[in-house]
Structure 1
Amino acid sequence: MLNRLFALGLLGSTLIFTGCESIPTSSSHLEASNLMQLQNRTWFITHVGNSEAKIMPNMPSLQFDAATKRVTGSDGCNRLMGSYEAGRDTLVLSQMASTKMACFNGHPASQTFKDALPKVANYQVFGKTLKLLDRHGNSLIQMQSNVLVQ
């Protein structure tokens, strides 16, 4: 009788402790997956709005550092830097600054690229493609990682 009572008590405790274990939701898994794909890569511009960006040696680019929550990159001539906050599909770039060098062979899309960055509110990442979107879901900038620059 005492053994049965002990076994039932042990089984009940096990069920209680296992029931309290937190199980990650699919939403938090999706957020972690999106952030992993976004961060710690170099993204090179392919489109600004609906227009394809011309491939040149100095392509506008961005890097999102997961450890420091800093964004760095280039507009094709000047260096860009700032901070960012990202969620599952939200992205806010803040405190953006850039150098002011005189560029003779800058990228044709550099000003449009810089003008679009403050409007970014969301992002979509699919493998090697990153889309930066405004708050209405319109594509502002499309980028790719590991683009071969000719």
Structure 2
Amino acid sequence: MLKQIFVAATLVSTLVVTGCESMPAQDNTITENLNLLQNRTWIATQIGNTPIKTAPNAHNIPSIQFDAASKRVSGADGCNRIMGGYNAGKDTITFGPIAATQMACLNNNGLDRQYHAALEKVTHYQVFGKTLKLLDHHGNLLIQYESAVQPR
């Protein structure tokens, strides 16, 4: 009887210690992913499977920035400036309503509309090095970005 109690107590204490040790690792993963996502400029390189071709000196190149302190997103859609709120977790992300300026968009082949349509479907993200992928709930690529190189 004493042996059974000892085995049960050992098993319970092992589970408690193992459970407590695994929690900070998950929190660290969330923090690491958010650190990779936030507070940098991301330049869009493709929408779905279609590459985005823009001149380096073009205005309002499709881009996005995630501000960690305010939980606000800002950037451009290929024509207009965009802004709104966001909420991100380990690999999930949701956007609040995205507002945009209303400039006349000439010769951008509907890039701004494609960009907004893709943003509306985003539910997940992945960051690997200098690449950010915004994905739908099936894991399909909606928008891919590269981290912008900041001048010194």
Where does structure 1 lack aligned partners over 5 or more consecutive residues?
Answer: 1-18
Aligned twin of 1:41:
40
Report the AA paired with residue 90 of structure 2. R
Residue of 126, 129, 136 corresponding to 1:127: 129
Q: CA deviation at 1:135?
A: 0.8
Task: Tell me by how many angstroms 1:105 deviates.
Answer: 4.7
Q: TM-score, normalised by structure 2?
A: 0.77
Q: Secondary structure at the match of 1:95?
A: coil
Rounded to whole Å, the distance in 2 between the matches of 1:67 and 1:107 is 35
Aligned pairs for 1:1-150 (under 5 A) are 25-56=24-55, 57-58=58-59, 59-106=61-108, 109-146=111-148
Displacement of 1:106: 3.9
TM-score by length of 1: 0.78
Amino acid at match of 1:124: Q
**Amino acid in the other structure paired with 1:116:** A
Give the 4+ runs in structure 1 shifted more than 6 A.
Answer: none
How many residues are aligned here? 128
For the pair shown, the structure with the greater C-alpha radius of gyration is: 1
Q: Distance in 2 between matches of 1:105 and 1:55?
A: 11
**Aligned-pair CA distance for 1:147:** 5.5
Counterpart CA distance in 2 for 1:116 and 1:73 is: 15
Where do 5+ consecutive residues of structure 2 fail to align? 1-16
- State the shift of 1:126 in Å: 0.7
Identity of aligned residues (%): 51
CA–CA distance in 1 between the matches of 2:77 and 2:50?
Answer: 16
